[in-house]
Each structure stands twice: as structure tokens, then as C-alpha cells.
Structure 1
Amino acid sequence: MSHPVPESTLPALVQGELTLIGGLNERLFRLLAAIASTGSITQAARAIGMSYKGAWELIDRANNLSPELLVDSSPGGRAGGGTRLTPAGQELLNLFQRLQEEHRVFLDRLNRELAANPNFRFLHRRFGMKSSARNQLFGNVKRVVPGAVNAEAIIALKGGDELVAAVTHKAVETLGIEAGREVVALVKAPQVVVVKDFGGYRLSARNQLAGVVERVQRGAVSAEVVIKLAGGDALAASITNDSVDQLDIKEGEAATAVFKAGAVILGVAER
């Protein structure tokens, strides 16, 4: 079932100025339309926010490049002067305005199709979020477990992975964190530990997400290790280059991203 997006949000999805082959754009045709309505190059330039000199330069160039004269002007006198479109100029303007309307109809249809696509709608909304946290994971709250001081929110990620976030009771109430609510979990890369072999030990960290090393990107001092989880989500860890060498971390090998529940910040979309 599709969910319509409010009309006011549609232009935010796909926009575009109609540009013809050769670089002809709306500025020339806005000027032609203004000349047609005012009969004056001075008034036309003022109407579209151009300088008088710039308007004449654009008209002169268009006239020079066109097989037929597009704009004609007559000097002032007792009969008065003026600037007008020639039949060729009016025909060109009419054609562009028709193309412009077809272009508007096309963009409107495309926006509606994109807005009706749930994957695109979610992606569009989520990309609008700006955060310095390297890891941004979206999921749904499975359950909220209250504690003496804080509560634990269990988040279901893609592919069956679960993430645990420790949040205050106040945050649970204020954000409306409850079963079924979509949330975004923010985790900074330096707070993620990479484990290749537990060596028979168990760790107290609530989040231990197993996957495969997808990428190791070294910097001057530290490296970013990206672990791909079973469901397709990726988690980035920032560790030193020495740690990469000591652990012998290689792409394609199994590894586990480990981080505390307190390292997770939850966010919710406005209702």
C-alpha cells in the first residue's frame, strides 16, 4: 500500500531547470517573455533581475546565432520606440513554453512515483539526517526493558541482528521509545572494538555483532575497519594501524564489532 507524500514536499525530491541542447536555458526565454509582455528591453531586464547591459548582450548573442532575427528594436522618436519579438522569436518562445510545461508535468509524475516508493521515501528521509557519528543504523524497537536507573532498548536490525541501547527513563518517555517504533542508532567509530578471536573469554559489552571485514582503510595513525553484518548493515571501527597489524585484520575474514550499550545514542523521527 502506498502512502502519499504531502504536495509541499514533492519539489524536494527531484528538481531541475529545463536546459536545451547547446546550453540554451530559461534565462534567455524569461527575457523573451518579458520583452513580449512589456515591449521594452529596460522593463524586461528589470522584471527578470538582469542588468540592461546584460540583457542586450544576451539578445545580441541570440540574434547573431539564430538563422532568423528573434528580437527587433526601433529607436525612439515622436512615434516612440520599443523592442518586440519577431514572428520567429515568438514562435521559439511558444515552443519553449510548451516544452517547459511538458517538463513540469514530467517532473511532477516522477516525483509522485518516487514518493510512492517506500524504499525511496525512507532513503530520502534518512539521508536528510546530519550527524557526526560514523555509524547510523536504522531498526525497530523490539522491546524496552526497564531497569533501576536506565532502560534497555532492544533494536531489531536488518537480517535478524539485535542492537542494545542503554537510555534513561526520561529519554524513553520524551522520545516515545516503545515496541514497534522506528529508531536510528548512532555509534561513533572510536567506540567500536574489533575482535577476531575471543580466545574462550566472554565480554560484558552488550553489543557483539558478528560479520565479515569488508574494508580496511589506513590513515596516518589510525585505520577505519568496516565490518559487514549478516543483514547488510555496515559498522565502522576506528582503531590504530598497530592494532590492525597486531590482529592481522584482513578483508574477507570474520570479525566482531563490540561496543557498550551506553555508547549508543537513539534518535526518532518527528511524528
Structure 2
Amino acid sequence: MDPHSKHSEQSIPLLEGEIRLIGGLNERLFRLLAAIEKTGSINRAAKDVGLSYKGAWEMVERANNLCPQVLVSTAVGGRHGGGTKLTATGRELLELFTRLQEEHRRFLATKNRELADNPNLVFLLRRLNSKASERNQLFGKVTAIRIGAVTVEVSITLKGGETIISAITKESADAFGLKYGDPVMALIKAPFVMVVKDFGGYRLSERNQLKGTVKRIQRGSVNSEVVIELAGGDSVAAIITTESLEAMGLREGETAWAVIKTGSVILGVEK
């Protein structure tokens, strides 16, 4: 096994940042200065860095005003023609910033290698980087797989010990190659979450009944959002009608259950 495979699997850096000097002198300005030094034209330099001609000039003029010495000078006409170039001060500042950038890149590379050695942090940052429209994104591990005639039921245990079940097709289960202990993400649309305050002596057929405390209620004229915090710290958001909310007399701090159909739980797995 390649000793660097753990780091090569990391598709995105866990730690990012850029250098910004006081006064708003940032990397974009110095990319513009480097392009001016290379092309001798602010018009061509602006195109190289994705700025308009006016935007480039405004950036240069502000930098010139902030610095004790002019950074960029412009010659108009003359025996050698016009053009834009960096002054000696401008070149000195650009060289300094270039050295800072290189040191900064080495610093980030070192810290990213250190962060990649912490599996809990890697999982956290990968999850924070996940992009999905569903309001509810719950992370856990596969603790049971039951194969039926048409569907496969996958049990996911959340960090607080609660279990949520997802019913997916056999094709999806085969494509995922799920096995016991795999980390997965359960995606649930908020309108698919039912809120129960009192079962009234009845039992519901839905497998997913997550007990928690009403953490927050955001009332709307037609619909309202109810956020239920589970014992383990995860939160589940539900969208219900405001009429239903008032009929239940639901209040923050009360006990409630988030009830979810197994078919409404979408699974997400790491690539």
C-alpha cells in the first residue's frame, strides 16, 4: 500500500486561507501587479486576472494612495511608446508578497497533512463540505442490512445511539456496496417529517420514531418549522402547517417525536 494513500485520497484541503495585508491589499491585487509586470499593459493585465479595465485601475489607484511610494506608473507616448509598469517599490512589494505566499503554501501543506491524520476531524470537515438541498442531514454508521424481495432496509445508528431506517432499492444497495460499519448520511426533506406530541394510546406503523425535545419553532402564516433535538445532539427539522401546530398546542421545551417513513430517508455514501 502506498504510504501516502491516505493523503492522496483527500480530494480537497481541510484547511484553506489566503494572505491579506492591512488596508485590504490581498492576493487579487498582487496577481494584478504580477500581470502588469509581465505584460506592461494594465488592459492586458486586467483581462489576465478577470477584472474590467475600470476595476483594475480602481484597484491600482487605491493601492497607490495607500502606499507611501507609488507602486504602478504609467507612461504616455514618448520615444518608446506608452505603457504601464511597476516602480522599484512595486517590484519590491510584489517580490515580498511572493515569498510570503510560498511560505504560506508550505504552512498550509504541513497543517493539512497533520489534519489528515485525525480521522474524526476529516469526517467532520468532509461532512461540512457536503452540498445537498435537504434540510436534514444526519450522519451515522450502518448497523444492520435486511434484504427483502424488492427493497433493502438499512439501519443507521446516529452518534447518540438513535437508529433510523432507510428503505432503498436493491439496485441502489448493490451500487453502494454497503456493509456493516460503513459511514453514511441520511437525507430527509423537512416536509416528509411528521411531528407527534401524543400518540393517544395508539401505535404507529412507521418504523422511524425519533424522540426528542422541541428546540425551536419558527412560525409562518401558512407553514411552520419545528426543530426537534434528539438525546444524542442531532436535530431534525419538520415543516408542518401552522394550523396543525396550533391544534397540537406544541411549545418549545416539550417532548415530541419526529416520525419518518423509511422510504423518505435518502442515503448518501462517500465516494
Q: Is this a same-fold pair by TM over 0.5? A: yes
Tell me the residue number matched to 1:223.
224
Q: Is the 8 A contact 1:10 1:111 kept in 2?
A: no
Tell me the residue number matched to 2:11.
9
SS at match of 1:205: coil
More displaced, 61-70 or 170-179?
61-70
SS at match of 1:178: coil
- Aligned CA distance change for structure 1 residues 211 and 96 (closer, same or farther; 3 Å): same
Q: Is the 8 A contact 1:224 1:237 kept in 2?
A: yes
Q: Is the 8 A contact 1:32 1:93 kept in 2?
A: yes
Q: Does residue 46 of structure 1 match 2:59? A: no
- Aligned CA distance change for structure 1 residues 180 and 41 (closer, same or farther; 3 Å): same
Tell me the residue number matched to 1:101.
102
Per-residue deviation, 1:11: 4.7
Q: Is the 8 A contact 1:41 1:52 kept in 2?
A: no
Cα distance in 1 for partners of 2:266, 2:178 equals 12
Per-residue deviation, 1:121: 2.1
User: Residues 108-257 of structure 1: matches in 2 within 5 Å?
Assistant: 108-257=109-258
Tell me the residue number matched to 1:77.
79
SS at match of 1:199: coil
Query: Alignment length, in residue pairs?
Result: 264
- 2:24 partner amino acid: G
Cα distance in 2 for partners of 1:218, 1:12 equals 37
Per-residue deviation, 1:4: 3.8
Q: Deviations over 1:24-79 (max 9, x none)?
A: 2345544554565x6x733x75356378887777666655654445556777438x
Query: If the length of structure 2 is used for normalisation, what is the TM-score?
Result: 0.79
Cα distance in 2 for partners of 1:149, 1:7 equals 34
Q: Deviations over 1:167-194 (max 9, x none)?
A: 2333222221221222222222222221
- Aligned CA distance change for structure 1 residues 183 and 96 (closer, same or farther; 3 Å): closer
Q: Is the 8 A contact 2:213 2:229 kept in 1?
A: yes
Per-residue deviation, 1:153: 1.5
Cα distance in 2 for partners of 1:53, 1:173 equals 56
- 2:106 partner amino acid: V
Structure 2 unaligned spans of 5+ = none
Cα distance in 2 for partners of 1:31, 1:242 equals 58
SS at match of 1:107: helix
Cα distance in 1 for partners of 2:60, 2:121 equals 43
- 1:234 partner amino acid: S
- 2:137 partner amino acid: Q
More displaced, 241-250 or 162-171?
162-171
Q: Deviations over 1:190-214 (max 9, x none)?
A: 2222112222221111111111111
Q: Is the 8 A contact 2:15 2:111 kept in 1?
A: no
- Aligned CA distance change for structure 1 residues 115 and 248 (closer, same or farther; 3 Å): same
Q: Deviations over 1:75-112 (max 9, x none)?
A: 7438x998765544443333222222222233333433
- Aligned CA distance change for structure 1 residues 81 and 174 (closer, same or farther; 3 Å): closer
- Aligned CA distance change for structure 1 residues 102 and 218 (closer, same or farther; 3 Å): same
What RMSD in Å do the two structures reach over aligned CA positions? 3.4
Structure 1 unaligned spans of 5+ = none
- Aligned CA distance change for structure 1 residues 82 and 132 (closer, same or farther; 3 Å): closer
Q: Is the 8 A contact 1:217 1:223 kept in 2?
A: yes
| Percent of paired sites with the same residue | 56
Q: Is the 8 A contact 1:3 1:116 kept in 2?
A: no
Tell me the residue number matched to 2:20.
19
- 1:41 partner amino acid: G
